Amino acid sequence: MQLSANKTKRYVHIQTFGCQMNVNDTDRILQVLAPLDYVMTDDPAQASLILLNTCSVRDRAEQKMMSQLGRLAPLKEHNDELVLGVAGCVAQQEGAELLKKVPYLDLVFGPDHIAELPSLLARVAGSEKRVAETELYKRKGYQFVEAEPLPAVDGHAQKVSEFVTIMKGCDKVCTYCIVPFTRGREVSKPHEMVVREVSRLVEAGAREVTLLGQNVNSYGKDLVESSEARFARVPTFAQLLREVDAVPGLERVRFTTSHPMDAIDDLIACFGELRTLCEYFHLPVQSGSDSILEAMRRFYTVADYRDKIAKLRAQCPDLALSTDIIVGFPGETEADFEDSLKLLAEVAYDSIYAFKYSPRPGTKALALGDTVDEADKERRLDAVLKLQKDISRKKMLGYVGKQVEVLIEGPSTRTSKGQSSVVPLDAKPSFQLMGRTRTNVIVNVPVPLGDFWSKRWVGQLATVVIEEAKANSLFGRFA
Contact of residue 259 among ligand 5AD, ligand SF4, none (CB under 5-8 Å per partner type): ligand SF4
Least Å distance, CB 358 to ligand SF4, is 13
Burial (CB < 10 A; 0-12, 13-18, 19+), residue 190, is middle
Identify whether the C-beta of residue 38 lies closer than 8 Å to the C-beta of residue 12. yes
Report which secondary-structure segment, H or E, holds 180.
helix 179-183
Least Å distance, CB 287 to ligand SF4, is 12
In the bound state with ligand SF4, the residue whose beta carbon lies nearer, of 69 and 177, is: 177
- State the residues that interact with ligand 5AD by CB under 6 A: 57-58, 176-177, 284, 286, 324, 326, 355, 357-358, 360
Residue 353 and residue 388: Cα distance in Å, rounded? 10
Contact of residue 172 among ligand 5AD, ligand SF4, none (CB under 5-8 Å per partner type): ligand SF4
In the bound state with ligand 5AD, the residue whose beta carbon lies nearer, of 105 and 170, is: 170
Hey, is 193 helix, strand or coil?
helix
Contact of residue 326 among ligand 5AD, ligand SF4, none (CB under 5-8 Å per partner type): ligand 5AD
Q: Which of residues 168-187 bind ligand SF4 (CB under 6 A)?
A: 170, 172, 174, 177, 179-180
> Is residue 257 reached through a cis peptide bond, with omega within 30 degrees of 0 on the bond before it?
yes
Q: What is the number of the residue whose Cβ is closest to ligand 5AD?
A: 324
In the bound state with ligand SF4, the residue whose beta carbon lies nearer, of 179 and 223, is: 179
Q: Are strands 442-446 and 432-437 parallel, antiparallel or unpaired?
A: antiparallel
Least Å distance, CB 184 to ligand 5AD, is 16
Identify whether the C-beta of residue 312 lies closer than 8 Å to the C-beta of residue 269. no
**Residue 326 binding ligand SF4, by CB under 6 A:** no
Report which secondary-structure segment, H or E, holds 290.
helix 290-295
**Residue 91 binding ligand SF4, by CB under 6 A:** no
Report which secondary-structure segment, H or E, holds 477.
strand 473-478
Contact of residue 167 among ligand 5AD, ligand SF4, none (CB under 5-8 Å per partner type): none
Residue 182 and residue 179: Cα distance in Å, rounded? 5
Least Å distance, CB 363 to ligand SF4, is 9
Task: Report angle CA 134, 140, 142 to the nearest 5 degrees.
Answer: 50
Least Å distance, CB 400 to ligand SF4, is 35
Least Å distance, CB 330 to ligand 5AD, is 11
In the bound state with ligand SF4, the residue whose beta carbon lies nearer, of 284 and 476, is: 284
Residue 352 and residue 344: Cα distance in Å, rounded? 9
Q: Is the dihedral of CA 436, 438, 439, 440 positive or negative?
A: positive
**Residue 55 binding ligand SF4, by CB under 6 A:** no
Least Å distance, CB 356 to ligand SF4, is 15
Contact of residue 65 among ligand SF4, ligand 5AD, none (CB under 5-8 Å per partner type): none
Contact of residue 437 among ligand 5AD, ligand SF4, none (CB under 5-8 Å per partner type): none
Task: Report angle CA 426, 250, 470 to the nearest 5 degrees.
Answer: 60
Q: 127 Cβ partners below 8 Å, 6+ apart?
A: none
In the bound state with ligand 5AD, the residue whose beta carbon lies nearer, of 219 and 357, is: 357
Residue 74 and residue 68: Cα distance in Å, rounded? 11
Contact of residue 215 among ligand 5AD, ligand SF4, none (CB under 5-8 Å per partner type): ligand SF4
**Across-strand partners of 327?**
356
**Residue 360 binding ligand SF4, by CB under 6 A:** no
Contact of residue 357 among ligand SF4, ligand 5AD, none (CB under 5-8 Å per partner type): ligand 5AD
Least Å distance, CB 18 to ligand 5AD, is 9
**Residue 214 binding ligand SF4, by CB under 6 A:** yes
Least Å distance, CB 167 to ligand SF4, is 11
Report which secondary-structure segment, H or E, holds 407.
strand 403-414
The CA-to-CA distance between both ends of the chain, in Å, stands at 58
Identify whether the C-beta of residue 104 lies closer than 8 Å to the C-beta of residue 84. yes
In the bound state with ligand SF4, the residue whose beta carbon lies nearer, of 214 and 322, is: 214
Q: Are strands 131-133 and 107-109 parallel, antiparallel or unpaired?
A: parallel
Identify whether the C-beta of residue 359 lies closer than 8 Å to the C-beta of residue 318. no
**340 backbone φψ class: left, alpha, beta (φ>0; ψ -120 to 50):** alpha
Binding mask 215-234 for ligand SF4 (x = CB under 6 A): x-------------------
- Taking alpha carbons only, the member of 124, 100, 133 closest to residue 48 is 124
In the bound state with ligand 5AD, the residue whose beta carbon lies nearer, of 345 and 368, is: 368
**Across-strand partners of 325?**
286, 354
In the bound state with ligand SF4, the residue whose beta carbon lies nearer, of 184 and 459, is: 184
In the bound state with ligand SF4, the residue whose beta carbon lies nearer, of 64 and 259, is: 259
Helices (H), 316-409: 334-347, 374-397
Contact of residue 180 among ligand SF4, ligand 5AD, none (CB under 5-8 Å per partner type): ligand SF4
**Residue 41 binding ligand SF4, by CB under 6 A:** no
For 351, list phi and psi in degrees, rounded to 5.
-155, 160
Q: Which residues bind ligand SF4 (CB under 6 A)?
A: 170, 172, 174, 177, 179-180, 214-215, 259
